[in-house]
Chains A and B, each alone.
Chain A
Amino acid sequence: MAFWLRTHNNRRAHNDFDAFMGHFGALLRELEPALTHQSPAETRRGFGPKANLFDDGDNYVIRAAVPGLKTEDIHLSAHHEGLTLKAESSADTAPEGYSAHRQERASAAFSRSFAFPTRIDADKIEAVLRHGILHITVPKAAAEKPRQIQVRVG
């Protein structure tokens, strides 16, 4: 998402309208916290955790960075075309009995879907949470795996 925003800004020609919108945007940003009472962490909701996707031939392998989440916070569901990863808020809006001095960590709930280039075997998906990284192994549907074809001499 961030990449798209960057290229979009480069293409816009600089003109007076842009300058006006720039000022207006700055004014909105100043007013917004007062109007909506949202912390920076909450306004980031929606995009979900950063995830890397690998292909080891037989499986797709996902590594999603989810520090602070416990297995009970994570909901993973699959159907034959894709995978949905959801999490509740990691409940770190000032722990009980403390006041917040600084908050940079995202605490928003998220829902994120993964679509795969080939069909997958939803029954055989495995997921392990280790040191704040979620490791998901998604086997490809048997028909989709690359197969060696024997060449015979005719």
Chain B
Amino acid sequence: MNNTPENNHEALKPLSNRPTVAPRVDVYQNDKEYLLLADLPGVTQDNLSVEIEKRTLTLEATMADLPELEAVELQWRPVDFRRTFAIPNDVETDAIGAKLLDGVLRVHLPRTQAHLPRKIQVSMA
């Protein structure tokens, strides 16, 4: 496709010149879960991967291309996103869930309840 004579000029184009950047994230927590919010503007579900391997969470995504119109001013260019996180020890990795909405990825990492202080009943001997 790219090597036909009419498309010879394609061979001179540089390879993907998109930078890969780390998306900005917020991390919140309460007793039940950690909540991770990542800004991924211009990213759709098909262009996003959320992977867990052992205790590492990896986000990878790619933004949609710019429209092919004459640019008057460009303040941002489409980039690829990538960021890894160490999953805290008290997370139940099987129950991790993620949702993409309005260009923000919300990842819920439920915590095992073992970290909560437990009262131990003392019985009289």
Q: B25 to chain A: which residues have CB within 8 Å?
A: 102, 104-105
Per the bound structure, the CA–CA distance linking A53 and B70 in Å amounts to: 9
Tell me whether A105 and B29 are in contact in the complex, defined as CB-CB below 8 angstroms, given that A50-B75, A61-B69, A132-B104 are known contacts: no
Q: Does chain B have a CB within 8 A of A108?
A: no
Q: Report the minimal beta-carbon distance from B83 to chain A, rounded to whole angstroms.
A: 11
Q: Does chain B have a CB within 8 A of A67?
A: yes
Per the bound structure, the CA–CA distance linking A129 and B24 in Å amounts to: 20
User: Which of B28, B75, B102, B104 meets A52, CB within 8 Å?
Assistant: B75
Interface residues of A in 98-135 (CB under 8 A from B): 98-106, 117, 129, 131-133
B67 close to A63 (CB less than 8 A): yes
Per the bound structure, the CA–CA distance linking A54 and B42 in Å amounts to: 17
B71 close to A53 (CB less than 8 A): yes
B102 close to A103 (CB less than 8 A): no
A66 close to B103 (CB less than 8 A): yes
Q: Does chain B have a CB within 8 A of A95?
A: yes
Q: Report the minimal beta-carbon distance from A136 to chain B, rounded to whole angstroms.
A: 12
Question: Which of chain A's residues has its CB closest to B105's CB?
Answer: A67
Interface residues of B in 64-103 (CB under 8 A from A): 64, 66-67, 69-76, 102-103
Q: Does chain B have a CB within 8 A of A68?
A: yes
Q: A56 to chain B: which residues have CB within 8 Å?
A: 69-70
Question: Which of chain A's residues has its CB closest to B100's CB?
Answer: A131
Interface range for B: 20 to 34
Binds A, one of B7-15, B30-38, B49-57, B113-121: B30-38
Per the bound structure, the CA–CA distance linking A131 and B42 in Å amounts to: 5
B73 close to A52 (CB less than 8 A): yes
Q: Report the minimal beta-carbon distance from B96 to chain A, rounded to whole angstroms.
A: 16
A54 close to B69 (CB less than 8 A): yes
Q: B64 to chain A: which residues have CB within 8 Å?
A: 131, 133
A98 close to B102 (CB less than 8 A): no
B41 close to A132 (CB less than 8 A): yes
Q: Report the minimal beta-carbon distance from B19 to chain A, rounded to whole angstroms.
A: 14
User: Which of A92, A98, A117 meets B30, CB within 8 Å?
Assistant: A98
Q: Report the minimal beta-carbon distance from B116 to chain A, rounded to whole angstroms.
A: 15
Q: Which 6 A-B pairs have the closest CB atoms?
A: A132-B103, A67-B103, A98-B28, A132-B41, A54-B69, A104-B24
Besides A55-B70, A67-B103, A68-B39, 9 new A-B residue pairs in contact (Cβ under 8 A), listed by A number: A61-B69, A67-B39, A68-B37, A98-B28, A100-B27, A105-B39, A117-B72, A132-B40, A133-B41
